[in-house]
Amino acid sequence: MKRRPLSLVVRLTVSIGAVITAVLLTFGWMMERSINNHFVQQDVDELNSVVQALQYLLATVPADIPADELHQRLASVVTGHRNAQYRISTDSGSLIYSTPGFNLDTFARTARPVEEITIDTVESWNDHQEAFRGAVLWIESDRLEGKARFRLAVATGIDFHLHYLDGFRNHLRIVTLAACLIVLLATWFAVYQGHAPIRRISREMRRIRSDQMDFRLEPRSVPAELVELTISFNEMIGRLEDVFRRLSDFSGDIAHELRTPITNLRTHTEVALTQARSVEQYREVLYSNLEEYDRMAKMVGDMLFLAQADNQLLKPELVDIDLQSELRNLFDYFSAWAEEREVLLENTGEQVHVHGDRLMIRRALSNLLSNAVRHTPEGQSVTTTLQVNSGNVRIRIQNPGPPIPEEHLNHIFERFYRLDASRQRSSEGAGLGLAITKSIIEAHGGKIRAFSTTEATTFEVQLPLKME
Amino acid sequence: MKILIVEDEVKTGDYIRLGLMESGFVVDLARTGLDGHHLALTGSYDLIVLDVMLPDVDGWRIMQSLREARSTTPVLFLTARDSVEDRVKGLELGADDYLVKPFAFSELLARVRTLLRRGAAPVFQDQLQVADLMLDIPRRRAQRHGVRINLTNKEFTLLELLVRRQGEVLPRSLIASQVWDMNFDSDTNVIDVAIRRLRAKIDDDFEPKLIHTVRGMGYMLDVTQPG
Q: How far is B42 from chain A (nearest CA, A)?
A: 36
Which helix (DSSP H) or strand (DSSP E) does residue B13 occupy? helix B10-22
Tell me which DSSP letter residue A113 carries: B
Q: Which of A313, A362, A374 sits opposite B83 (nearest CB)?
A: A313
Same domain (yes/no): B31, B110: yes
B136 part of a folded domain: yes
Same domain (yes/no): B68, B6: yes
Tell me if ipTM is over 0.85.
no
User: B150-191, pLDDT tens digit by residue?
Assistant: 999 899 999 999 998 888 889 888 899 889 888 777 777 889
Q: Indicate if the pLDDT at residue B219 is higher than 50.
A: yes
Query: Where does CATH 1.10.287.130 sit in chain A?
Result: 220-310
CATH number at residue B194: 1.10.10.10
Residue of A nearest to B155 (CA): A336
Q: How far is A330 from chain B (nearest CA, A)?
A: 8
Q: Which of A317, A333, A374 sits opposite B180 (nearest CB)?
A: A333
B227 part of a folded domain: no
Distance CA A79, CA A86 (A): 12
Same domain (yes/no): B133, B89: no
Tell me if chain A has a CB within 8 Å of the CB of B149: no
Same domain (yes/no): B150, B115: no
pLDDT band at A331 (very low <50, low <70, confident <90, very high): very high
B48 part of a folded domain: yes
Domain extent, residue B217, equals: 127-221
Cross-chain residue pair A300–B102, CB shorter than 8 Å: yes
Same domain (yes/no): B166, B105: no
Cross-chain residue pair A336–B187, CB shorter than 8 Å: no
B226 part of a folded domain: no
Same domain (yes/no): B37, B110: yes
Same domain (yes/no): B190, B110: no
Cross-chain residue pair A366–B84, CB shorter than 8 Å: no
B191 contacts B157 by C-beta, under 8 angstroms: no
Looking at domain A220-310, does it have CATH number 3.40.640.10? no
Same domain (yes/no): B49, B136: no
Name the domain boundary from B79, B96, B119: B119
Cross-chain residue pair A294–B190, CB shorter than 8 Å: no
> B1 burial class (0-12, 13-18, 19+ CB within 10 angstroms)?
middle
Cross-chain residue pair A297–B104, CB shorter than 8 Å: yes
- In A61-124, where does DSSP find H-type helix? 67-76, 105-110
Dihedral (C-alpha) A252, A258, A263, A268: value to the nearest 10 degrees? 170
Q: Indicate if the pLDDT at residue A228 is higher than 80.
A: yes
Name the domain boundary from B119, B146, B170: B119
B152 part of a folded domain: yes
Which of B159, B174, B188, B197 should we substitute to test contact with A (largest number of A Cβ atoms within 10 Å)?
B188
Tell me if chain A has a CB within 8 Å of the CB of B56: no
- Residue A349, beta-bridge partner list: A386
User: A17-43, pLDDT tens digit by residue?
Assistant: 889 889 988 988 898 899 989 989 988
Helix axes A8-60, A159-194, angle to 10 degrees: 160
Collect all residues with Cβ–Cβ distance below 8 Å to A272 and sequence separation of at least 6.
A281, A282, A285
Q: Indicate if the pLDDT at residue A238 is higher than 80.
A: yes
Residue range A370-385: average pLDDT? 90
Query: Where does CATH 3.30.565.10 sit in chain A?
Result: 319-464
Cross-chain residue pair B184–A374, CB shorter than 8 Å: no
| pTM of the predicted protein model | 0.63
Looking at domain A319-464, does it have CATH number 3.30.565.10? yes
Name the domain boundary from B119, B146, B165: B119
Looking at domain A8-167, does it have CATH number 3.30.450? yes
Same domain (yes/no): B214, B189: yes
Tell me which DSSP letter residue B133 carries: E
Q: How far is A243 from chain B (nearest CA, A)?
A: 24
Q: Indicate if the pLDDT at residue A354 is higher than 70.
A: yes
User: A250-291, pLDDT tens digit by residue?
Assistant: 788 788 778 888 888 888 888 889 889 899 999 888 888 888
B68 part of a folded domain: yes
- Compute the mean pLDDT over every residue in chain A, rounded to the nearest whole number: 85
When divided into structural domains, chain B yields a total of 2
Residue of A nearest to B175 (CA): A333
Q: What is the pLDDT of residue B48?
A: 93
Q: What is the pLDDT of residue A426?
A: 46
Helix (H, G, I), strand (E, B) or coil at B104: coil
Same domain (yes/no): B173, B147: yes
Q: Which residues of chain B neighbour A258 with C-beta distances below 8 Å? A: none
Query: Where does CATH 3.30.450 sit in chain A?
Result: 8-167
pLDDT band at B119 (very low <50, low <70, confident <90, very high): low
Same domain (yes/no): B134, B204: yes
Nearest partner of A137 among A120, A158, A153, judged by Cα: A153
B158 part of a folded domain: yes
Same domain (yes/no): B35, B114: yes
Cross-chain residue pair B193–A337, CB shorter than 8 Å: yes
Distance CA A79, CA A72 (A): 11
